[in-house]
Amino acid sequence: MSAESQENRTVEVLGVPEEVEDELLYLYFENERRSGGGSLVSVELEGSRALLLFEEAEVASRVLSKRAHVLSNAELTVRKPACKDPQRLLLRGFNPTTSQELVELYVENMMGMDMDEYTLYPSPSRDLVLVHFHQGFNKDFQTIYSKISKKPLDGAQIILEQIDQTDSILMENLHPSITADMLNLYLESQRGGCGEVKEVTMMSEGVARVSFLDFDSVERVLKQSHKLEETDLMVTPYFSFLQSEDSSSSPLTSPLTSLNGTSDSSTTNTQQTDSGGQSQTDSLPAASNSDRSQSSHQATSEPLSPPLSPPVSQAAAAQGGMDDLMSTPEPMSSHISVPDPVKLTLLQLSPLPQSLQLAYQGCSVQIREDGVHMAGPDRLILEQLKNAVLEFLGGVAQVNLTFDPEKAHFLAKQEVKDRLLQTLKEKGLPSMYTVLDCVVMVTSPSLSLVSQACSMLKTLLSDFSIPVDREYECMLYAQEWTGFLQSLGLCSAKVSERGQIDVLTLRGLEEEKQAKIVEFLSTPIETEAIISMEPGMLKYIQTHHHQLLADMNQVSIFPLDAHDVCGLRVGVLLFRIIKKTCIALYKFNTVYAVILSYPFHTTESS
């Protein structure tokens, strides 16, 4: 399915309690009565945040419309997940000692931009740089990413990352009388932007961080100018990776001034002036340690502390920066829970895990019993792995086929199922199917593949009939016939009302199965039975019906006169089941019935 379709089917859940596991989330959000939900493709749980991918966009909308969700006595917040920020990208891995001018030239050359089309915001540690595009980013991300990954700067490998939209803003220049409740009421009013406020945190004097329930609220608030208590407020989007570890001072991070000496102010809606009338440089205010721990945009590198006396030489600083760059970063990992074993098996059958590991060196994609575990060297690659896996799971399609009872029973046999699934895989159609009564549910990675798999499945079945002469009919009811069919393998056969053998097998095996059936019918089978009787009766038959028994062709009769058994051992050679044998057996049964009904005394003299 398309990325847009996946976006419409995804719901973000916040405030998940620690004791809540994946399975409980599955059960709650698949319960339409409790949550308004339905069938889930996957659940990705990380801390108190979860991403739910539903099979249908309508179900996701239903969950979002039901605002009150309570699980394990905790109120959950549901919302649409963040989209990629269309105006900002993050560059990671800079040498902290690299000059501002060199960074600017690198960005312009790699991205093909002029100096007035962007503004750079470095992190306090100067190893991260946020690129803000004045008119939005309209180039192919993968092309730029590949170009940057092949071009180090100042001995450092640079990585380009897409970042999610932020759900928070920083408000500066607040009057001391302004409280968190006042900011909440103001921002939810029409004058403040009608945003749905989730939380207001007073970070330091005159500075507050405000988080919203949805990401659209941030954009609406940023587009407006704000004035409260006769004071103009400065409002900026909040990104924790651009903030200093020290929350006591604000502002902190300033944009890198471009080569013509100007800086961008598009990320703020009000410019502040100092007492001398000079315009201050735009900045993104600081966050406290607790705020950064709650944000989903955490920087992986520690901010650099200010130099202490005596000052460190530039060479030593450069060497220290290079040592940090040479150190191996700890790999990041993520887990996607997939309770549906069919989808997990399809993912394992597909070439996707192997192709992802080949495309992203140093990454791993492992299929486990409860889902998919992924590990990668950085956040961008990990996100790309997750998106590829979620796109695969979200695209899985299912079609129901109806067969007659005989074919459905044949398809349910394990040996038949294994052979058919292997054939489909070899044809490039990895699929799974289950049989319920006369319905066969076929599942494949996409709607196109499941349609091809269904057509292929129908063509792989073959049925034919073998006419049987009357001379052979007795053989079809012998005990050996049942045992023969069980040992035939990949085949089902039965005697029809028209007196012929209806055979169902796989295409390409018709001649083999027909030859084995004909061989069975034409192979002699000797069977025998023992008729016990009293000694007097045995003597009577031997004396008065010896000639009649001798005339029974293909029937051998041997008297048994031992101390433990007395009677006749009858051996019949079923060879092509010819009419003479059937007639002879009929005669013998008739004579035997007459003898048993004849009244006489079983004495030695009779």
Locate tokens 């009779």: which residue? 606
- Which range among 13-27, 365-379, 469-483 shows the weakest confidence by mean pLDDT? 469-483
User: Would you say residue 47 lies in a domain?
Assistant: yes
| Residue 40: count of CB within 10 angstroms of its CB | 23
Residues 472 and 435 in one domain: no
| Torsion over CA: 536, 539, 545, 549 (sign) | positive
What is the CATH number for 473?
3.30.70
Domain count, the chain: 7
Q: For residue 183, give Cα distances in angstroms to 240, 300, 455, 560.
A: 21, 31, 62, 110
Of 457 and 568, which is predicted with more confidence?
Answer: 457
Residue type, 332: M
Query: What DSSP line would sit under 308-344, residue for residue?
Result: PSSPPPHHHHHHHHHHHHHSPPPPEEEEEE---HHHH
CA-to-CA distance for 210 and 187, rounded, in angstroms?
A: 9
Residues 71 and 90 in one domain: no
Residues 196 and 265 in one domain: yes
CB-CB contact of 166 with 237 (8 Å): yes
Residue type, 286: A
The DSSP output letter for 256 is: B
Q: In what side-by-side order are the strands of the sheet with 10-14?
A: 69-71, 74-79, 10-14, 49-54, 40-46, 332-337, 371-376, 364-368
Query: Smallest Cα–Cα separation from 578: which of 469, 466, 465?
Result: 469
Q: Can you give the pLDDT at residue 62? A: 93
What is the CATH number for 454?
3.30.1360
Residues 109 and 24 in one domain: no
CA atoms within 13 A on the CB side of 551: 9
Residues 492 and 443 in one domain: no
* pLDDT, tens only, 337-378: 887 888 888 998 888 888 888 888 788 899 888 888 888 887
* pLDDT, tens only, 157-173: 898 888 888 889 989 99
Residues 218 and 264 in one domain: yes
Residues 407 and 363 in one domain: no
Q: Can you give the pLDDT at residue 106? A: 92
First to last CA, the chain: 92
Across the chain, what does the average pLDDT equal? 76
Token code pair at residue 137: 């980013």
Residues 529 and 584 in one domain: yes
Last residue of a domain, one of 164, 187, 210: 164
Residues 184 and 124 in one domain: no
* pLDDT, tens only, 256-297: 544 334 444 444 444 443 333 333 334 443 333 334 333 333
Query: Smallest Cα–Cα separation from 529: which of 588, 478, 475, 571?
Result: 571
What is the CATH number for 350?
3.30.1370
Residues 467 and 579 in one domain: no
Last residue of a domain, one of 490, 521, 552: 521
The answer, yes or no, to whether residue 28 has pLDDT greater than 70, is: yes
Q: Can you give the pLDDT at residue 596? A: 54
> What is the mean predicted confidence (pLDDT) over 522-550?
65
Specify whether the backbone of 252 is left (phi greater than 0), alpha (psi in -120 to 50) or beta: alpha
The answer, yes or no, to whether residue 551 has pLDDT greater than 80, is: no
CA-to-CA distance for 196 and 211, rounded, in angstroms?
A: 9
CA-to-CA distance for 242 and 132, rounded, in angstroms?
A: 13
The answer, yes or no, to whether residue 577 has pLDDT greater than 60, is: no
The answer, yes or no, to whether residue 493 has pLDDT greater than 90, is: no
User: Would you say residue 247 lies in a domain?
Assistant: yes
| Residue 597: count of CB within 10 angstroms of its CB | 7
Residues 55 and 120 in one domain: no
User: Would you say residue 311 lies in a domain?
Assistant: no
Last residue of a domain, one of 129, 164, 199: 164
Query: Smallest Cα–Cα separation from 445: which of 390, 386, 365, 401?
Result: 390
Residues 486 and 470 in one domain: yes
* pLDDT, tens only, 295-339: 333 333 333 333 333 344 444 444 444 444 444 455 688 888 887
User: Would you say residue 290 lies in a domain?
Assistant: yes
What is the CATH number for 229?
3.30.70.330
Q: Which domain holds residue 43?
A: 3-79
User: Would you say residue 317 lies in a domain?
Assistant: no
- Name 456's Cβ contacts closer than 8 Å, sequence gap at least 6: 423, 424, 427, 429
Q: Can you give the pLDDT at residue 370? A: 80
CA-to-CA distance for 320 and 314, rounded, in angstroms?
A: 10
Predicted TM-score of the model (pTM): 0.48
User: Would you say residue 233 lies in a domain?
Assistant: yes
